[in-house]
């Protein structure tokens, strides 16, 4: 009864426990739940630098044109204006969403190049790339993940790790959802002759720029933190018949230095609004002379600004070194 065309009116007659009858007239409209969209904040250390925080619950899109990428880009622009020293992207519990939006969001932090590759059962591959020059944000980036970060979240975290663009921090490997399924309606195929239900078929698999699949293995953080939910079985690894991890040929891609090793990252973020340009990005990608190259699988070194404040000991952490 409450559903209807936007702008139309509906009258509700409510009877209270006291037997009093109240008439309520409302106008139908679109209900926007802001908690389901990206949101951010800035945190200033006492007597120190200011850092940005962006929480992204999903990779979404809408008929109105609002997308995860556009919302995050807007938040990054605001944080650049506030001269933040770095930003933390929180992808914890983000189960994924639109593939194209994840590619575009990763492109906000890299200067052109492949983001993810897909492969179908017959072996045909497709490369999804960031085709825009420049970056929307060139200060240090930390990406937070957990075992419930899946699919599109793993594509973004994996790409930024492969490009050495961010330090990945989490309580363990991500969910490991690196496949695409379609639902085949068997009843429709049988045209009502038999009730057979539906059939879920895996048709594609995701592979990172470095050639590794996000399936089963997930994205392994550069820095591991204690896991308060470690007793909960979750992820593709916990499923009895999950598709195993696999690897294909890596894609050529230009990487920056490991986060924390680039002298140019010590500079302040640019202030003011981006200058007018035909591209929505205007900031050149971060670089250090002689530091560009292919991914070599070395251990990530967390930047100095991740260090714990004096007098507050850091919790036990484990650094993992990917195989070379």
Q: Residues 138, 162, 217, 222: which is the catalytic one? A: 162
Strand-strand pairing, 167-170 and 113-120: unpaired
Q: Could you give the CA distance from residue 1 to residue 172 in angstroms, rounded to a whole number? A: 46
Using the 8-state DSSP alphabet, how is residue 127 labeled? E
Give the residue, 257 or 67, on which the prediction is more confident.
67
Question: Is 177 a residue of the active site?
Answer: yes
Beta strands, E only, 76-166: 87-90, 113-120, 125-130, 141-145
* Cα atoms in the Cβ-side hemisphere of radius 13 Å centred on 188: 5
- Reduced to 3 states (helix: H, G, I; strand: E, B; else coil), residue 264 is helix
- The pTM is what? 0.73
Q: What proportion of the chain, given as a percentage, has pLDDT over 90?
A: 53
Q: Bigger pLDDT: 111 or 310?
A: 111
- Of residues 177, 213, 217, 222, which has the active-site annotation? 177
Most confident of 26-30, 299-303, 307-311: 26-30
Q: Is the pLDDT assigned to residue 262 strictly greater than 70?
A: no
Catalytic residue among 102, 149, 151, 153: 151
Residue 231 to residue 237: CA distance in whole angstroms: 14
Per-residue pLDDT, 305: 36
Q: Is 188 helix (H, G, I), strand (E, B) or coil?
A: helix
Closest CA to 165 of 133, 131, 130, 137: 137
Q: Is 59 exposed, middle or buried (0-12, 13-18, 19+ CB in 10 A)?
A: buried
- Domains of the chain, start order: 36-178+207-294 (3.90.226.10)
Mean per-residue pLDDT, 166-178? 96
């Amino acid at each position: 009864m409450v559903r209807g065309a936007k702008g139309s009116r509906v009258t509700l007659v409510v009877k209270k426990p006291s037997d009093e009858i109240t008439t309520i007239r409302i106008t139908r409209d679109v209900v926007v739940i802001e908690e389901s969209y990206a949101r951010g904040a800035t945190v200033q250390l006492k007597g120190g630098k200011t850092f940005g925080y962006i929480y992204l619950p999903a990779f979404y899109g809408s008929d109105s044109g609002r997308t995860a990428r556009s919302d995050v880009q807007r938040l990054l622009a605001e944080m650049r204006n506030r001269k933040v020293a770095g930003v933390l992207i929180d992808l914890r519990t983000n189960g994924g969403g639109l593939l194209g939006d994840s590619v575009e969001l990763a492109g906000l932090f890299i200067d052109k190049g492949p983001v993810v590759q897909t492969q179908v059962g017959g072996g045909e591959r497709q490369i999804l790339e960031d085709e825009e020059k420049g970056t929307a944000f060139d200060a240090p980036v930390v990406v937070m993940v957990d075992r419930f970060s899946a699919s599109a979240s793993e594509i973004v975290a994996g790409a930024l790790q492969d490009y050495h663009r961010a330090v990945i921090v989490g309580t363990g490997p991500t969910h490991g959802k690196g496949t695409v399924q379609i639902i085949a309606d068997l009843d429709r195929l049988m045209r009502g002759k038999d009730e057979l239900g539906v059939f879920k078929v895996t048709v594609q698999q995701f592979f990172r720029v470095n050639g590794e699949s996000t399936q089963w293995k997930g994205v392994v953080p550069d820095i591991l933190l204690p896991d308060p939910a470690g007793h909960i079985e979750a992820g593709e690894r916990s499923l009895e018949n999950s598709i195993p991890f696999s690897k294909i040929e890596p894609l050529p891609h230009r990487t920056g230095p490991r986060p924390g090793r680039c002298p140019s990252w010590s500079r302040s973020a640019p202030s003011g609004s981006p200058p007018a340009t035909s591209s929505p990005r205007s900031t050149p990608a971060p670089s250090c002379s002689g530091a560009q190259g292919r991914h070599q699988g070395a251990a990530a070194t967390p930047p100095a600004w991740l260090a714990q404040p004096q007098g507050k000991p850091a919790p036990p952490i484990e650094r993992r070194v990917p195989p070379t």
